[in-house]
Amino acid sequence: MTSPPLARLKELAFFRDLDDDTTAEIARRGLWFSLAGGWELFRQEARSRTLFIVLSGRLIVVRAGEAGEEVVGYVRAGEPVGEMSLLADEPHSASVYALRDTEILALARADFDALLDARADFARALARSVLLRARRPQSSFRRAAPRVFAFVASSPSIDVEARARAVARALERYALKACWLGEERADEAYRGFEAMESGHDVVILAARIADTSWYKFVLRHADRFLVLARRDARPARPFPLSPDESSPARKFRLVDLVMIHEGLVASSPSEWAEAIEANRIFHWRGPDTVHRLARIIGGKSVGLVLSGGGARAYAHIGAVKALRERGVPIDFVSGASMGAIIAACVAMGWGEEETDARIRDAFVRSNPLGDHVLPVVALTRGARVDERLEKHFGDAMIEDLEIPFFCISSDLTKGEAHVHRRGLLRAALRASVALPGILPPVVTDGALLVDGAVVNNFPADMMAAAHRGITIGIDVAQEATIRVEDFRDPPGFLAWVWRNGFSNPPPIVSLLMRAASARQERARALQPADITVAPDVPGVELRDWKKYDVAVADGYRAAAQKLEACWAHLAPIVDAAKEA
């Protein structure tokens, strides 16, 4: 193919600091070609012979290892790929595929070497790219954020154009330049899609599933798909969401499910999510949904993370109250251990009064860990916790929740975090609060699940991977969570019971609870939230279930102070959200 125009190259990041002669030389020597969405550019362990520079579109970098294939990063327009292997004269360390139709400029090794020798600005640009990737290996996930979104109607009765238009308008409220195109503007898209993409922060393509040129165009040009599905319909299998279902890149495409609650119920969100291999599930329930989708698409969403901390986690309730009073939207919510239970209250859509009543009933009025037994696998039967989770969360499914939710438990068989994104909510919560030695572990599908705090008590890193906006973390386990004096010359068991009765848990409970999360203290610096609130919760220990009001008040106070200090970051989002 002929060389790309020089003016077009100069618009791309890699070429901006190159002089015109160097850019012209690269264009003359390079081969300009198009790689169809889903096709392989090169394979891991293959010999490196070419430098590739992305002119338009999007590539995904995948590395195969003992644990399977892992997404290493993304490559967008204006970025090179394959340069490290070429410079080191080593095989490629990962495979690269086109996630969508992608235009590429290729430089063969001989041309690459000639440019390195003759053009110092080319060598500098390449060195800068290598250093940036080496120093910030995860930055490509942020830089290569999706820009082109496909709204795919799974049924002819879904007004996908109206919904795309509504979200595009909402995006403008968040100071983002957005446009949407339906099939009636297909010719305009065919002629000038590249200019349309470069001129907007977000482009939404609206389409219905059909054997049409427009639908095929949408499949080949979208970075991320939002499949709109009605509850009164069932998904097709296989679901037609790729121009080439045999493509090895198919498994890495980004797909979200948007359930529309119309008509009689004929299917479940889990059925649809399985059929389309959805990463996330949303529910369309009016204007609030429009703004939530706009924030998520535009990178303006707010994710809330609640740490574990036993009774100290009551402080989360006060923190959530402070967020709601200031109008901060919560688009995603997650937690570990007791923080997972408060996060579930938020995801259920419960207000302040309902959350207060339910938590008091489940945890404050009587000790949830009071059904002691002679220990074999735990100090308690766990029946009280089971009964209270069932009473308050019933048969709610995670995929049906109003706000997208996940929680963390720890898989002792694999020594890693187990993320609960679907299934019975109370079962996920029971695993997340199964403190080793205190509550019996949960055995499921060959896994032995215990409290999430063992592996990740503050899953801000997982929340950051789930969305591109601001992550707010409430961490109640940073300060004093255990009383040292309880372990200085402790009394025997009978003496403890004589002084405190059977209703109060002995210090061994605090010891086990603290031991479960203590190893996470050193890891926090590697996974910070954008805004972290750390309530002191003075005088409240992990097992002080009666000190509800003190903890809630301190959580509110700490969150209100932090919000005031960080309001400049949140104000634009809050102001736009108020217009929903």
Model confidence over 336-369: pLDDT tens digits?
A: 999 999 999 999 999 999 999 999 999 999 888 8
Give the length of the chain.
Answer: 580
Per the CB < 8 A criterion, the answer to whether 85 and 109 are in contact is no
Per the CB < 8 A criterion, the answer to whether 462 and 406 are in contact is yes
Gap between the Cα atoms of 484 and 275, Å rounded: 53
- pLDDT attached to residue 500: 61
Q: What are the CA-CA distances from residue 2 to residues 6, 34, 81, 112, 353 (Å)?
A: 12, 12, 21, 18, 67
Catalytic-residue membership of 3: no
Angle (deg, nearest 10), helices 109-118 and 120-135: 110
Where is pLDDT greater, at 114 or 485?
A: 114
41 band by pLDDT with thresholds 50, 70 and 90:
very high
Q: What is the mean pLDDT of residues 45-51?
A: 93
Class of domain 302-579: alpha beta
141 band by pLDDT with thresholds 50, 70 and 90:
very low
Domain ranges in the chain are 6-142, 148-298, 302-579
Gap between the Cα atoms of 277 and 147, Å rounded: 21
Burial letters 239-263, b for 16+ CB under 10 A, else e: bebbbeeebebbebbbbbbbbbeee
Which run of H or E residues covers position 149?
Answer: strand 148-153
Name the CATH topology of 6-142.
Jelly Rolls (2.60.120)
Catalytic-residue membership of 386: no
Side-chain half-sphere CA neighbours of 305 within 13 A: 29
Q: Which one is catalytic: 451, 461, 475, 544?
A: 451
Q: Tally Cβ neighbours within 10 Å of residue 106.
A: 18
Per the CB < 8 A criterion, the answer to whether 469 and 303 are in contact is yes
Q: Which residues contact 407 (CB under 8 A, 6 or more apart)?
A: 334, 335, 336, 340, 343, 344, 419, 420, 428, 429, 432, 452
Q: Which one is catalytic: 129, 247, 337, 410?
A: 337
User: What DSSP line would sit under 400-415, residue for residue?
Assistant: G-SS-EEEEEEETTTT
Weakest-pLDDT range from 148-152, 357-361, 518-522: 518-522
Superfamily holding 148-298: P-loop containing nucleotide triphosphate hydrolases (3.40.50.300)
pTM (2 decimals)?
0.86
Burial letters 16-29, b for 16+ CB under 10 A, else e: eebeeebbebbbeb
Using alpha carbons only, give the angle 25, 31, 34 rounded to the nearest 5 degrees.
Answer: 135
